[in-house]
Structure 1
Amino acid sequence: MGEIQVGTASWTDRTLLESGWYPATADNPEKRLAYYAKQFPVVEVDATYYGPPAEQTTKLWAERTPDGFTFNIKAFSLLTGHPTRVSAIYKDLRPETGKKNVYPDDLPAQSYEEIWTRFLSALDPLVAAGKLGALLFQFPPWWGIRRSNKDYLREVAARCKPLRPVFEFRNASWFDGDNAGETLDFLRRNELPLVCVDMPQGHRSSVPPVVAATADLAVVRFHGHSDKWTSKDIHEKFGYDYSRAELKEWAPKLRALADEAGRTQVFMNNCYSDYAQRNAATLMELL
């Protein structure tokens, strides 16, 4: 069986800080990250979706964590075709527009290329420290299965090389009927890692929990099962506390996945209070 790493998708959430999960002595960002890194071997950074990181920030992350610790980085929204706040773009590359949000086609090609370059180069300190895991590319709900989107997956892999992108779909067409086999075959042929998700079903962004390794790296993200999944309040959306019984059902599935992949990463993304941290600790115990 390959290695399984379990962590969470945040260590700085306001409700986590208020929950009492951190000891009173962890009273600043440096101490909190150090404490987190003693509990878990990996963390997913979601803040980089909302705004690209500064190299100085990733340098501090590398310095404040022990050898062997791993950061997965969520790709900047513009690179996955999401609407992106103009104010989130590098100041000298912001398009002159009256729009509040923009898409890749709203930028000159040269600016778009430069955003890619700066985003990836800002991760250099983590690469140098051997602490960069995968880059999470989570696509929008309207991003369905089609040839041009498959081409973009290959393009992302080429742009990121030698870094490892992993891909999370939020459009069920990738797994409808015969498309499921087609999608998995395509990903395996191109050695592109699929992100398996556990999430509420029956919504526009819902995809089934397809547990399959399509490369030597497998990633599973637990979004919870909130009955307020469509809420604009992020804590209502992700505020779900997994029961031990639910996590116990997942343990053999994760072990089977680890039999297929060299390394399996598992992230609790139910980031409200200390739900993710407690659930991740329980899952580690069950595994």
Structure 2
Amino acid sequence: ETWVKDTPDLFRFIVKPHQALTGHQRGEIQVERSELFHQFEESIQPLVEAGKLLTLLFQFPPWFDCTREHVHYVQQCRETMANYPVAVEFRHQSWFDSRFREKTLQFLSQMEATHVVCDEPQAGNGSVPIVVSVTEPKLSLVRFHGRNVSGWRDPGQGQNWRDVRYLYKYSEQELAQWVPRVEQLANAADQVCILFNNNSGGDAAGNAKRFIEMLGAEPITGLNPRQMELF
């Protein structure tokens, strides 16, 4: 409710489910997944009622490979959240290798789930290639994670791993390569949402502003944040 109150009317949220629902949390889970789904659904209701939920983002971990069991689990997630828009981001390369790429995209399309197009380091099985495709015509979602291969492979231990993993600044040339790709997505989807996640060194905002200029897009006004109330 605070998020709704403290953001402008045009603001939209992309919400990630808890890590216990996407496989990031390893080991025994003390609460039944059905109960976790129920709790998560309750938590997003203020955003839903205010019309501020853009989509739910199910981002699966690098070890979540393309197996029958995992396909069924993705399907279960979509069915459980059938009343809401859902985007799916895979991080294991197997989903988009030559054997499964088209089947993966068809699978997402059949579920009416948005395929998350990723720009990220090409670092083996724990990363995915750039796959410019629209599986849900209402929304295309693009995420820029940077191209820090060494940080992606070995981000270190402890709470500071984000300081390394997403430490990257896109060059003019790298951003320019994305202009025709975004135009391709825009021709197939009603809306294209672009997220810069290369935030370890504070480069996301600058890259995002420059990319807006490259696209010739008009910045949306009235989104300046207000001071959030403490109580």
TM-score class, shorter: 0.7 to 0.9
**1:225 equivalenced with 2:160 (yes/no):** no
SS of 1:228 mapped into structure 2:
helix
Partners in 2 of 1:142 and 1:154 — Cα distance?
18
Which one-letter code corresponds to 1:266 in the other structure?
I
**1:62 equivalenced with 2:4 (yes/no):** yes
Compute the displacement of 1:161 (Å): 2.3
Larger RCO of the pair (alpha carbons < 8 Å, separation 6+): 1
Partners in 2 of 1:131 and 1:278 — Cα distance?
25
Misfit runs of 4+, over 6 Å: none
Partners in 2 of 1:264 and 1:189 — Cα distance?
20
Aligned positions of 1:222-261 closer than 5 A:
222-226=144-148, 227-229=150-152, 230-232=154-156, 233-261=161-189
**2:20 equivalent in structure 1:** 78
Out of 179, 202, 208, the position equivalent to 1:274 is: 202
**2:49 equivalent in structure 1:** 128
Partners in 2 of 1:160 and 1:65 — Cα distance?
25
Aligned positions of 1:1-287 closer than 5 A:
59-83=1-25, 102-103=27-28, 106-107=29-30, 111-216=32-137, 217-226=139-148, 227-229=150-152, 230-232=154-156, 233-287=161-215
Compute the displacement of 1:79 (Å): 0.2
Cα RMSD (Å):
1.5
Q: Number of residues paired by the alignment?
A: 208
SS of 1:150 mapped into structure 2:
helix
Compute the displacement of 1:190 (Å): 2.4
Identical columns (%): 37
TM-score (norm 2): 0.85
Partners in 2 of 1:169 and 1:144 — Cα distance?
8
**1:92 equivalent in structure 2:** none
Which one-letter code corresponds to 1:261 in the other structure?
A
Compute the displacement of 1:178 (Å): 2.7
Which one-letter code corresponds to 2:44 in the other structure?
L
**2:227 equivalent in structure 1:** none
Compute the displacement of 1:176 (Å): 1.2
Cα deviation digits, residues 160-213 of structure 1 (max 9, x gap): 122112111111111111311111122222222111110111233111011100
Which one-letter code corresponds to 1:219 in the other structure?
L
SS of 2:186 mapped into structure 1:
helix
Which one-letter code corresponds to 1:60 in the other structure?
T
Which one-letter code corresponds to 1:223 in the other structure?
H
Gaps of 5+ in 1: 1-58, 85-101
Cα deviation digits, residues 207-247 of structure 1 (max 9, x gap): 10111001122111110011322212211110101112211
Partners in 1 of 2:123 and 2:72 — Cα distance?
28
